[in-house]
């Protein structure tokens, strides 16, 4: 007889509602420094969009459409010694090239950060969104900074990808169409979205049971 395969599910790291509230509260209470505003804006942006960190760090202000409240994603950063080649003019997959809608609060945060980045002056140069004095943010350095913030906030270390998982989990639990979530995250296939995130919608399991009970009562 064929041997049974050991099927293990890779545990996904993400914030539940309590830890998310705790982390957001921590960000709200950081000292008002330029570095803190940069990182608080970046973390909230990642939570609000579900972008991969490489896509986020490659964004320029020209990619943000403040009028239509969208961000165009078509670049990513790569680890290379040549600084001029760190931004790759193509996303992870063809489906990763996308336009993501932004909520009003995220738009406001970006406007405030842009103003501070430019020292309240109008800059004619297209800068990287998440940079200070035109210094390129590297993944290794940003990951170290993020881990320190997690430690100081006394929350789980979910890594950068945990923001993406948290974003998807929140949308799943809010009954957002999984197809829309797939397009928002830039997944190549609908099944990737469902296989990865459908089990995170824990809040809906009891709702499903209650809906079935109500269906029987309505017969």
pLDDT-above-70 percentage for the chain: 78
pLDDT tens for each residue of 69-90? 999 999 888 765 555 556 666 6
pLDDT value, residue 138: 82
Stated pTM of the model? 0.83
Angle value at C-alpha 173, between 168 and 176, nearest 5 degrees: 70
Residue 57 scores a pLDDT above 90: yes
pLDDT tens for each residue of 197-211? 766 665 566 666 666
pLDDT value, residue 38: 96
């Amino acid at each position: 007889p064929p041997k049974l395969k050991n099927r293990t599910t890779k545990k996904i790291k993400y914030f539940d509602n309590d830890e998310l509230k705790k982390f957001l509260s921590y960000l709200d209470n950081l000292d008002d420094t330029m570095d803190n505003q940069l990182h608080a804006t970046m973390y909230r942006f990642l939570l609000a969009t579900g972008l991969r960190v490489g896509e986020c760090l490659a964004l320029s202000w020209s990619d943000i459409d403040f009028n239509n409240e969208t961000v165009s994603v078509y670049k990513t950063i790569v680890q290379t010694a040549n600084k001029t080649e760190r931004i790759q003019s193509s996303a992870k997959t063809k489906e990763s090239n996308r336009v993501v809608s932004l909520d009003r609060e995220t738009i406001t945060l970006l406007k405030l950060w842009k103003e501070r980045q430019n020292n309240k002056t109008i800059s004619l140069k297209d800068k990287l969104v998440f940079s200070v004095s035109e210094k390129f943010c590297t993944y290794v350095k940003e990951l170290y900074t993020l881990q320190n913030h997690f430690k100081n906030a006394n929350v789980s270390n979910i890594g950068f990808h945990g923001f993406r998982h948290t974003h998807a989990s929140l949308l799943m639990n809010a009954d957002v169409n999984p197809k829309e979530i797939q397009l928002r995250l830039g997944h190549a296939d609908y099944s990737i979205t469902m296989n990865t995130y459908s089990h995170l919608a824990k809040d809906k399991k009891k709702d499903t049971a209650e809906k079935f009970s109500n269906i029987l009562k309505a017969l």
